[in-house]
Chain A
Amino acid sequence: MSITNLLENWSDFRQQHPSDDRPHREYKWAMSIDLDSCTGCNACSVACYAENNLPVVGKEKFAHGHSHHWIRIERYWDNDGREFADQGAQFLPMLCQHCESAPCETVCPVGATNHTADGLNSQVYNRCVGSRYCNANCPYKVRYFNWYNYPTIDNVWPEPMNQQLNPDVTVRSKGVMEKCTFCVQRLTVAKSDARTKGRSVLDGEVQTACQQVCPTGAISFGNLVDPEAKVGKQWMKQQVDLNKDKQAKDAAEEAVKLRGYRILEELRTYPSVMYLEQLRESAI
Chain B
Amino acid sequence: MYCFLRLSVLLVGLIASAGSYAVNAVQPLTTADDLGPKVEQPIEFPHDRHAGDAAKGGMQINCMYCHTYARRSIVAGIPPLQKCIGCHQSIESVRETPRIKKLFEYWEAKKAVPWKKVHDLPDFVRFNHERHIQRFVFAQNKPVQEACGYCHGDVKTMTVARRQKPLSMGWCVSCHQKDHPVDATSTKTTHGPNDCWQCHK
Contact = CB atoms under 8 A, between A and B. Distances in A.
Q: Do the two chains bind?
A: yes
Contacts of A1: 173, 194-196
Chain B interface bracket (under 10, 10 to 19, 20 to 34, 35 or more) = 10 to 19
B200 interface: yes
Interface string B87-130: 00000000000000000000000000000000000011010101
A168 interface: yes
B74 interface: yes
Contacts of B83: none
Contact of B177 (A5, A114, A117): A5
A165 B21 CA distance: 42
A114 B201 contact: no
Contacts of A185: 126, 201
B197 interface: yes
A2 B74 contact: no
A148 interface: no
B89 to A, nearest CB: 34
A168 B169 CA distance: 18
B19 interface: no
A192 B123 CA distance: 19
A282 interface: no
A163 interface: no
A177 B124 CA distance: 15
Q: Is the interface of A mostly helix, strand, loop or mixed?
A: loop
Given A2-B170, A114-B195, A124-B196, A184 B201 contact: yes
Given A168-B126, A185-B201, A196-B131, A2 B177 contact: yes
Interface string A165-209: 001111100000000010011001100100110000000000000
Contacts of B200: 124-126
A180 to B, nearest CB: 13
A189 B128 CA distance: 9
Contact of A188 (B123, B170, B198): B198
Interface residues of A, number: 27
A188 B196 contact: no
Given A2-B173, A5-B173, A126 B124 contact: yes
A17 interface: no
B177 A192 contact: no
Contacts of A126: 124, 200
Contacts of B159: none
Contacts of A117: 193, 195
17 contacts: A1-B173, A1-B194, A1-B195, A1-B196, A2-B170, A5-B173, A122-B197, A125-B200, A168-B126, A168-B201, A170-B124, A184-B201, A185-B201, A188-B197, A192-B128, A196-B130, A196-B131
Given A124-B197, A170-B124, A171-B123, 5 more contacts: A13-B195, A122-B196, A192-B74, A192-B131, A195-B134
Interface of A: 1-2, 4-5, 13, 114, 116-117, 120, 122, 124-127, 167-171, 181, 184-185, 188-189, 192, 195-196
